[in-house]
Amino acid sequence: MSEPRPQRILVPTDFSPTARAALDLAATLARGFDAEIHVLHVRVLLEDTHLEEQERAEVQRLLAASDGTARAALGRDAEGHDDLVVTTHLVRGISPAETIMETCRSLGCDLIVMGTHGRHGLTHLVVGSVAEGVARTSPAPVLTVGPHALPPPDRIRSLLVAHDFSRHSEDAIRVAAVWARAFAARVTLLHVVEPMVYPEFYAVDILPEKTLADVRTRSEEALREAADRFLIGIEHGVLVDSGRAWERIVARATRPDYDLAILGGRGLSALEQLLLGSVADNVLRRAQLPLLTVRAPR
């Protein structure tokens, strides 16, 4: 069964440059998918039980006054996308990540697009760490635009999909196939062979040259089998690299070769560790490309 195309895109914003870049990318996607956009600003509340009633009332007064400024900023962000259905939301909450997820569920959004760098403070969404938390827990795919990302493309032509042969990586390929058909894009499947690293004390080679060559050959064959299975009718290629997975993915995920990188939310590395904590977070923080993180439903 093919994955559905996104119909409602949630764009959390703190009005920072990366948040605006995420909104521009969401607009490109909305045009390709014929989807609507929901722009969200989370007003983080100060929950302090030690505040006196008078102080608490003053905090609430300041928050209410600044709500008007936030709504005006949301309106300005929505400008320039008159050809799209754009709805703005100002929501108060204690936890930015939880509020984003609650809003995503309540609106029925099936894709989140957000920046990974934001300004700190009571009245701003601290997106840097929030994006990682959302990417870890969201059942909907999360597309992040990091501080090192180049300006988002105005058209999606080429997708890079990291594949470690886990079920979660297969979910990422299925999503990539939907996106590739929507934008007539090419898909490249990348597998990184991670050699076993031993302490120098043992004086053991990471992997003998012949063994590494055999592993690379088998990996390329497995990638081609996956492409034949999931990418029917889609222009595609396969690529095998070796080294630390996140480093090689970051090195490969560059323009103009690719416009987006895609990772499964969880997977198995050579040491059977969860991919999300060690690889996806590192790629999210360092990639020049927007990163789509796909998690399988629990």
pLDDT in tens, the chain (298 residues): 456 899 999 999 988 888 999 999 999 999 999 999 999 999 877 554 454 555 545 545 555 555 666 777 787 777 777 789 999 999 988 889 999 999 999 999 999 999 986 444 433 344 447 888 888 888 899 999 987 777 777 889 999 999 989 888 999 999 999 999 999 999 999 999 987 655 555 555 556 667 778 888 999 999 999 999 999 999 999 999 998 899 999 999 998 899 999 998 654 344 434 444 568 778 888 888 999 999 765 4
Same domain, 196 and 85: no
Same domain, 96 and 169: no
The CATH number for 87's domain is 3.40.50.620
Same domain, 193 and 112: no
232, 176 Cβ separation under 8 angstroms:
no
Q: Does residue 150 fall inside a structural domain? A: no
Question: Taking CA 12 as the corner, what is the angle to CA 10 and CA 14, rounded to the nearest 5 degrees?
Answer: 160
162, 263 Cβ separation under 8 angstroms:
yes
Residue 118 CA, chain-centre distance (Å), reads 16
Q: Does residue 3 fall inside a structural domain? A: no
* pLDDT reported for residue 124: 38
Q: Does residue 274 fall inside a structural domain? A: yes
* pLDDT reported for residue 15: 86
Q: Does residue 104 fall inside a structural domain? A: yes
* pLDDT reported for residue 9: 97
Same domain, 34 and 79: yes
Among 122, 145, 168, give the residue marking a domain's end.
145
Same domain, 114 and 181: no
Count the domains in the chain.
2
Q: Does residue 153 fall inside a structural domain? A: no
Q: Does residue 39 fall inside a structural domain? A: yes
Among 145, 168, 183, give the residue marking a domain's end.
145
d(CA 249, CA 101): 28
Question: What residue type is assigned to position 216 of the chain?
Answer: R
Same domain, 118 and 207: no
- What does each C-alpha distance from 78 to 18, 88, 130, 224 come to in angstroms? 15, 8, 22, 42
Among 115, 145, 175, give the residue marking a domain's end.
145
Kindly write down the DSSP assignment for every residue of 165-187, as one continuous string: SSHHHHHHHHHHHHHHHHHT-EE
* pLDDT reported for residue 266: 57
Same domain, 116 and 55: yes
Burial 187-208 (b: 16+ CB within 10 A, else e): bbbbbbbbbeeeeeeeeeeebe
* pLDDT reported for residue 267: 40
* pLDDT reported for residue 149: 74
What residue numbers bound the domain in which 91 lies?
Answer: 8-145
Same domain, 15 and 127: yes
* pLDDT reported for residue 206: 58
